[in-house]
Structure 1
Amino acid sequence: MTTLAEPARPLPRTTRARPRLDAVGLRVLIAAGYVLAVVMWSLELPDGPVPPPSELARAVGELTGISAGYLTCPQLLLVARVPWFERAVGLDRLVAWHRWLGTAVLTFVGIHVTCKVVGTMFLDGSVPWDAFVTVLTSFPDMVTALIGTLLFLAIGVSAVRRLRRLLSYEAWWLLHLTSYLAVYLTFLHELSAGTHFIANDWNRAAWIALYVATAAALVIWRFVVPTLRAWRHRLRVVAVVPEGDGIVSIWFSGPRAHRLGVEAGNFLLVRFLARGHLLTAHPYSVSRMPDDGLLRITVGASGDHSSRVKELTKGTYAVVEGPYGRFTADRVSRPRVVLIAGGAGIGPLRVIAEELVRRGLEPVLLYRAQSSGRLALLGELRRLPGLTVLPLVGRRSDLGWDPLSPAMLASVLPRPHEWEAFLCGPEGMMRAVEGSLLALGMPRRFIHRETLSMS
């Protein structure tokens, strides 16, 4: 492999990232809300010496119950498409936080139920099953709470990676829709059985306000805003173009496509109004910036939905949400930039490369593919002045070496620790490349990657 010449061009000021709300601020906001919820619980604790085991179990059950109830709201808000959250963190990280909070909620629910049953066992001297029945029949709205809890459990089990692979995206999405029903069913018993709400009107009013605000954000940003934007932009498919083995580009036209606010590297959530596509919206990166009323995404066949996009017909309407993502050219802060793509990951890197060239940089693109037939958009890339394109073609088993190993990257990039990298491709490839770059001394903060999965 040939070592690349070192670009001497200074970094233009326009490529430095705009200041954004830091993810720490969002964490602090969520933590502050949790502290207030714990204060609500503590105000109803009885004064005096250490309580008996039954009361202690009840108190822990109340604490974990209010913890689960509170964390449910930020868990939903993280994926409510609230623009301030997305700009602060990026939708891919918000989805990861959503999963983590989901695990925390289920853990708290499990402890909550266990403590309630154990407390009843201590109080009545009963066996676990009888104590469970007593809890279920002695408090209002417990049957609906049980149904909601079982729905939460089913959703949580579906998130386990091995089981997730057995479900289609559509089935997984429909199951997750029941989370709204689960929240409603469990919310009823929080108000009617939670001692910190029964005895304190201020707590009750604040709790209702929290849930109403969460519901309002979901309705506005998940339904009202997308519907209005869909009507305003009215995007339609004008062409479906094969780009390589299993990769196609979808071209859209719309009277206001240029006003979507897309930045180089953004992705959109796209719902095609066609049979087999109506139920779900999927994340697809923009591979051509809006211009002259035209917009393009490039899709790799990686599942049922993405495999069917090649069957779309001209004139099909599309509802898009977004743009989303912080994987943009504005994050560049170094003059030496390497873009590493695999599969349909070439889409966002194609527009990032174009934007960096426009700003006066000379980026390098390493394009990994198992065969030359999967080098989508290669002709366009080679026509970009100032962009160096190095295709890395072939299976490792056939080549006998790894084109993205630390040794191979070091042979291509002079002083790799001084470069900045943008990675987009299959998750396994991105993990391996990130490991190679870290091994070569590239600081983690200069390695940018984005996972488009919403599940």
Structure 2
Amino acid sequence: MTAVPQPRVLTFRRSVRVARAAIVAFIVFNVVAVQLMFVAAGPGKNPPGTIGRLLGLYLALAMALQLLLVARLPVVDRAFGMDRLTVWHRWTGLAIFWLALAHPAFVVLGFARLDGIPILAETANLARQLPVLLGMIAAGLLMVIVALSVRAARRRLSYEAWHAIHLLLYVVVLLGVLHQVYEGTAFRVNPVTQVYWWGLWAFALGALIAGRLVVPMVRNSRHRLRVAAVVEESDDTVSVHITGRELEKLPARAGQFFLWRFPGHNRWWQVNPFSLSATPNGRSLRLTAKGVGATSAGLRDLPIGSRVYAEGPYGAFTAAHRTRGATVLIAGGIGVTPIRALLEDPDLTGHVVVLYRVREVRDAVLLGEMQNLADVRQARLHLLTGRTGGGHRPFAPEQLVALVPDITARDVYVCGPDAMTAAVLDSLRRLRVPPRQIHAERFHLAT
């Protein structure tokens, strides 16, 4: 197989490479700038306090970068994809957590040595100062959020509850900024450091407000989305058809998702990521969801004509990221929704093989549509059923090769449950499918 020759795809790939290089350069520049700013401030006469000050600078930088990740800037989304950005968000969050522990620990240790008193006594003294107290509260809230985000706790929370808890991150950011205003010293060395530091934070906060508030409000005001129809696909799955104004100007593509809110049906902070289950046609949008949470389970009761608030589109799980002339689409369970949209997408040219994994045939949502689309575009559709275990491993390397002998020469799109996606990605690595040809979508979103 040869690389996809379409000029539009090649132009998109070049723009992605440029965007990635610019983003990496931005991160490197800020890391170097923080280090230079620390050096310019001088070492100080208190080693633990000096270390704490350096850790505080990197903590603030990590928080600013986290804001940029949460802002979901289109250029960053297109360059790396929401799935990869979500992983970075998780790792950045862990870095912030450990820095938020280490920074005050070294600062308190330094002051305790200078004052010659126990650490706990010094902690109590510092807590009487409002700027320090704000930082301590921020660190405490951060620990609560991280504790409730570990896998064991996360499994016990609904998506809606987890999302609501993560809204506390904005309180942490506010307290952190106030703490810097009163306590920051390294960026007050000269006017240049002050302009750089507050310029970085203005950019991060501005990007967050624009990306998460202004742009969604403008788009929703323009398109005025409403529920046009609710169709039951199975006992626990429904499709919601949505119409609006000037939808042809909405920059949505097959494979992408929105964050959906249904005012009047759910509380304003309850939001769910649902992929488009049909290629956008400029007249309507469709999402298909399985009733696993409070929001998705209640979609069948949405009144026709009710307002819809959508934030997005997000994700790089699109045909624009292809590198080869043929494609494999692998879906598991309700992960079939973006796969179904991609199968319909006219931009996904070349031969297509679809692997659809479900436990039983009756669990295969949208199977009829998938079969019709496969017939129209002369694609091969394999429905893989049965329980995984023992000798039945449908995504083992040898099974993938048996189903798709030329899989190493194709782009592979994967969307499904975590266990299935992990198994597929592991097999693709063992088959030495080049990473640039592998596209995966998971929904572990940041707030």
TM-score when scaled to structure 2? 0.91
Q: Quick one: distance in 2 between partners of 1:73 and 1:359?
A: 37
More deviation, 359-368/319-328: 359-368
Q: Report whether the alignment pairs 1:28 with 2:18.
A: no
Give the alignment partner of residue 379 of structure 2, picking from 387, 408, 431: 387
- Please give the alpha-carbon distance, in whole angstroms, between the structure 2 residues aligned to 1:161 and 1:393: 28
1:194-343 equivalence runs, <5 A: 194-197=184-187, 200-291=190-281, 293-343=283-333
384-393 vs 408-417, which moves further: 408-417
Structure 1 residue aligned with 2:436? 445
Residue aligning to 2:37:
40
Give the conservation status (yes or no) of the 8 Å contact 2:359–2:387.
yes
Maintained 8 Å contact 1:106/1:152: yes
Task: Check 1:251–1:320 CA distance in 2 against 1; reply closer, same or farther (3 A cut).
Answer: same
Q: Which segment is superposed worse, 56-65 or 293-302?
A: 293-302
Q: 1:128 and 2:125 equivalent?
A: no
Larger of the two Rg values belongs to structure: 1
Q: What's the offset of the Cα at 1:222?
A: 0.9
Aligned residues: 439
**Stretch of structure 1 that moved more, 336-345 or 294-303:** 294-303
**Distance of 1:284 and 1:225 partners within structure 2:** 19
The secondary structure found in structure 1 opposite 2:261 is strand
Same amino acid, percent of matched pairs: 34
Which residue number corresponds to residue 182 of structure 2?
192
- Render the CA deviation track for 1:300-323: whole Å, top value 9, x for unaligned: 233332222222221121111221
**Contact 1:339 1:366 survives alignment (8 Å):** yes
Which amino acid in the other structure matches residue 340 of structure 1?
Answer: I
Preserved contact between residue 334 and residue 420 of structure 1 (Cα < 8 Å): yes
Confirm or deny: 8 A CA contact 1:245 1:374 kept in the other structure: no
Is the 2:2–2:324 contact (alpha carbons within 8 Å) kept by the matching residues of 1? no
For structure 2, list consecutive stretches of 5 or more residues without a partner in the other structure. none
Q: Which amino acid aligns with 1:411?
A: A
Query: Structure 1 residue 342: deviation in Å?
Result: 1.0
Q: Deviations over 1:256-293 (max 9, x none)?
A: 22221112211112111232253232211111123362
Q: Take 1:452 and 1:232, find their aligned partners in 2: how far apart are those partners?
A: 27
Distance 1:359 1:344, change over 3 A: closer
The residue that corresponds to 1:417 in the other structure is 408
Match for 2:357: what amino acid? R
Q: Which residue of 1 aligns with 2:84?
A: 93
Q: CA deviation at 1:451?
A: 1.1
Decide whether aligned partners of structure 1 residues 362 and 186 sit closer, same or farther in structure 2, where only a CA change above 3 A counts.
Answer: closer
Q: Distance in 1 between matches of 2:189 and 2:321?
A: 51
User: Which residue identity is paired with 2:352?
Assistant: P
Q: Tell me the residue number matched to 2:144.
A: 154
TM-score by length of 1: 0.89
Per the alignment, residue 13 of structure 1 pairs with 6
Give the whole-Å Cα distance in 2 for the aligned partners of 1:437 and 1:113. Answer: 44
Q: Cα 1:129–1:10, aligned 2, differ >3 Å: closer, same or farther? A: closer
- State the AA in 1 paired with 2:207: A
How far, CA to CA, are the matches of 1:444 and 1:149 in structure 2? Answer: 38
Is the 1:240–1:251 contact (alpha carbons within 8 Å) kept by the matching residues of 2? yes
Deviation, 1:438, is: 2.5
Deviation at 1:65, TM superposition (A): 0.8
Matched residue of 2:37: which SS? Answer: helix
Which residue among 362, 367, 389 is the counterpart of 2:356? 367
Q: Cα deviations across residues 116-165 of structure 1 (Å, max 9, x unaligned)?
A: 1211232222212112123334x551222222221122222222111122
The letter for the 1-side match of 2:73 is V
For residues 10 and 77 of structure 1, the distance between their equivalents in structure 2, rounded to whole angstroms, comes to: 33
Check if 1:61 corresponds to 2:58: no
Q: Which residue of 2 aligns with 1:3?
A: none
In 2 relative to 1, CA 247–277 (structure 1 residues): closer, same or farther, beyond 3 Å?
Answer: farther
Q: Cα 1:127–1:390, aligned 2, differ >3 Å: closer, same or farther?
A: same
Instruction: Describe the SS at the equivalent of 2:308.
Output: strand
Contact 2:358–2:364 (CA under 8 A) maintained in structure 1: yes
Q: Is 2:370 aligned against 1:377?
A: no
